[in-house]
Amino acid sequence: MKKLRVPMLAGLGLVALFIGGCAGNEAVKKDSAAVPAAVTEKVEPAIPAKNTDANAAQMAPQIQPAQSEASTSTMNVPVEARLETVYFDFDKADLRQDTRDVLAKNADTILKTLAERKIQIEGHCDERGSAEYNLALGERRAKAALKYITTLGVKEGNLSIISYGKEKPAVQGNDESAWAKNRRAEFVVK
Amino acid sequence: MKILIILLLFIMLPGESSAQSGYIEVTAPGSRMLKLAVDAPLLRTASLSADSVKLIPDVLTFDMNMSGTVTAETRPAYVTAKSTSLMESDFAPWLNAGFDLLVRSEITQTGDQVAVEFRLFDVVNRKVTTSKRYLGTASDLRRFSHLFADEILRVITGEKGAFTTRIAYVSTQTGNKEIYIMDWDGYNPLPLTKNHSINMNPDFTPDGRQIIFTSYKRGNPDLYRRSLSNTAEVVVSKRRGLNITGSWAPDGSKIALALSKDGDAEIYTLNKDGAAPVRLTVNSALDLYPSWSPDGTQIAFVSDRLGKPQVFLMKSDGSNVRRLTTTGSYNVNPRWSPKGDKIAYSRMSSNGFNIFSVSPDGSADRQLTTDGNNENPAWSPDGRFICFSSKRSSGAGVYVMRSDGTGQTKVTHAKGTFFQPTWSAH
Average pLDDT over residues A46-63: 38
Q: What is the pLDDT, as a whole number, of residue B240?
A: 97
Portion 9-28 of B in contact with A at CB < 8 A: none
List the CATH number of the domain containing A130: 3.30.1330.60
Sign of dihedral through CA atoms A144, A146, A150, A152?
A: positive
Q: Where are the domains of chain B?
A: 2-157, 166-423
The yes-or-no verdict on residue B23 having pLDDT over 80 is no
Q: What is the mean pLDDT of chain A?
A: 73
Instruction: Find the range with the poorest average confidence among A20-24, A65-69, B126-130.
Output: A20-24
Residues of A in contact with B420 (CB under 8 A): 131
* CB nearest to A139's CB, from B242, B285, B329: B242
The yes-or-no verdict on residue B20 having pLDDT over 60 is no
Q: Which residue has the higher pLDDT, B381 or B30?
A: B381
Give the integer Cα–Cα distance in Å for B417 and B399: 12
Give residue-wise pLDDT tens across range B65-95: 999 999 999 987 776 556 667 676 688 889 9
**Distance, in angstroms, between A140 CA and closest chain B CA?**
7
Instruction: Find the range with the poorest average confidence among A46-55, B286-295, B380-389, B401-410.
Output: A46-55
- DSSP letter string, A16-49: HHHHTTSS-GGG-----TTSPPPSSPPPPPSSPP
What stretch of H or E contains B312? strand B310-315
Residues of A in contact with B219 (CB under 8 A): 162
Say what the pTM is.
Answer: 0.83
Domain count, chain A: 1
Give the integer Cα–Cα distance in Å for B183 and B166: 4
Which one, of B251, B292, B246, lies nearest residue B265 by Cα?
B246
User: Under a CB-based contact definition with an 8 Å cutoff, are residues B75 and B138 in contact?
Assistant: no
- A38 and chain B in contact, CB less than 8 A: no
The yes-or-no verdict on residue A9 having pLDDT over 50 is no
Give residue-wise pLDDT tens across range A66-109: 444 444 445 566 666 789 999 999 999 999 999 999 999 999 99
**What pLDDT band is residue B249 in, cutting at 50, 70 and 90?**
very high
- Identify from B218, B238, B242 which residue to disrupt to test chain A contact, counting A C-beta atoms within 10 A and taking the largest count: B242
Q: Report CB contact under 8 Å: B307, A163.
A: no
Residue B212 pairs in a beta bridge with: B203, B225
**Distance, in angstroms, between B218 CA and closest chain A CA?**
12
Residue of B nearest to A141 (CA): B264
Q: What is the mean pLDDT of chain B?
A: 90
User: Under a CB-based contact definition with an 8 Å cutoff, are residues B70 and B36 in contact?
Assistant: yes
Q: Which CATH number fits domain B2-157: 3.30.470.10, 3.40.50.300, 3.40.50.10070, 3.90.650.10?
A: 3.40.50.10070
Cα distances (Å, whole numbers) of residue B363 to B221, B326, B358:
36, 10, 6
Instruction: Find the range with the poorest average confidence among A23-27, B139-143, B262-266, B364-368.
Output: A23-27
Which numeric CATH code is attached to B166-423? 2.120.10.30
**What pLDDT band is residue B8 in, cutting at 50, 70 and 90?**
very low
Residue of A nearest to B265 (CA): A136
- DSSP letter string, B177-244: BEEEEEETTS-S-EE---SSSBEEEEEE-TTSSEEEEEE-TTSS-EEEEEESSS--EEEEE--SS-EE
Q: What interface predicted TM-score (ipTM) does this complex get?
A: 0.89
Average pLDDT over residues B396-412: 97
Give the integer Cα–Cα distance in Å for A142 and B239: 17
Q: What is the pLDDT, as a whole number, of residue A112?
A: 93
Helices (H) and strands (E) in chain B, counts: 4, 30
**What pLDDT band is residue A57 in, cutting at 50, 70 and 90?**
very low
What is the 8-class DSSP label of residue A50?
T
